[in-house]
Amino acid sequence: MSQEVFGQDMRRAYLFSGLEDSQYQEIMAHAKPVELAAGQSLFAQGDPVTGFYWVVEGLIRLYRSSPQGDEKVIELIGPGRFFAEAALFMGGRFPVNAAAQTTSRLIAIDSTSFRAWLAQDASRCFKLMAGMSARLHKLVNEIDSLALMKGTDRLLQYLIDHSDPDESGQMVVELEAPKQVIASRIGVKPETLSRLLHKLTDLGYIEMKDNTLLIKDSEALRSAGLE
């Protein structure tokens, strides 16, 4: 498949940005589209790695399940992001489960072909390692910051990170998943998330409209104390 089919976003992503156009086209020759219905599983923890993925549309939930059946959401992956790329080099099995939270369209890059392509030229490996190292450094910094945050601070950070201006310039957060999923993602109980959202509403910082959250006072939200 050609670069034009997938657009420019994936071409500019950290994993491929250091490649030459011809190298990118060689990788895309082994890519294929995948469509998932809401709730459909993509792979399970422990499954052999068959590829890695780019989200074109929709939302993918990465999670782990306890023996008791409890689910811990590790990440929610939206459009314009890779996932499962690190699993290629981590023993060959997926470390988490992946399922479509909403109807989703993905690009899957075959792992066998990709590894064979890397093996042909060591310089290709170094180019990809440079991109992955920069991404890893960014993630480690994020983890360090989150580890020092209380649950309430993680909620505030989540809202700020997921807000975008609407046509009038007001900051809006589209809740990308059910509240229990978001609660799991930021490490709080669902009832705690509901309580905190109600408190932010009572304080006049936000306004809830179905699955849309309007931030009425961004500066106050950034410095909100909810304990």
Per-residue model confidence as pLDDT tens digits over 64-108: 987 777 888 888 898 988 999 888 877 688 999 999 999 999 999
What confidence score (pLDDT) does residue 133 get? 61
pLDDT at 32: 93
Q: For domain 151-222, give its CATH number from 1.10.10.10, 3.30.365.10, 3.40.1360.10, 2.30.42.10.
A: 1.10.10.10
The alpha-helical segments, DSSP class H, found in 57-189 are: 111-119, 122-147, 151-161, 179-186
Q: Is the pTM of this model over 0.85?
A: no
Task: Give the closest residue to 88 by CA, choosing from 131, 130, 139, 48.
Answer: 48
Q: How many CA atoms lie within 13 A of 226 on its CB side?
A: 26
List the Cα angle 100/105/111 in 5-degree steps. Answer: 90
The pLDDT of residue 131 is 65
CA distance 73 to 56: 21
Question: Residue 40: its pLDDT value, please?
Answer: 97
* Under 8 Å between Cβ of 99 and 53: no
**Range(s) for CATH 2.60.120.10 in the chain?**
3-146
Where residue 147 falls among pLDDT bands split at 50, 70, 90? low
* Amino acid present at 215: I
3-state secondary structure of 61: strand
Return the pLDDT at 48: 94
Question: Cα separations (Å) of 190 from 179, 183, 210?
Answer: 7, 5, 17
pLDDT > 90 in the chain, percent = 25
Q: Which CATH architecture has domain 3-146?
A: Sandwich (2.60)
Residue 57 has pLDDT above 60, yes or no: yes
- Residue 3 is predicted with a pLDDT of 43
Please tell me the distance from the alpha carbon of residue 226 to that of residue 124, in angstroms, as a whole number. 49
Confidence band of 139 (pLDDT split at 50, 70, 90): low
Give me the count of residues in the chain. Answer: 227
Kindly report, as residue ranges, where domains of CATH 1.10.10.10 are found in the chain. Answer: 151-222
Average pLDDT on 130-152 reads 63
φ and ψ at 202, to 5 degrees? Answer: -60, -35
Examine the pLDDT at 36 and tell me if it is beyond 90: yes
- Write the pLDDT tens digit of every residue in 155-165: 888 888 888 88
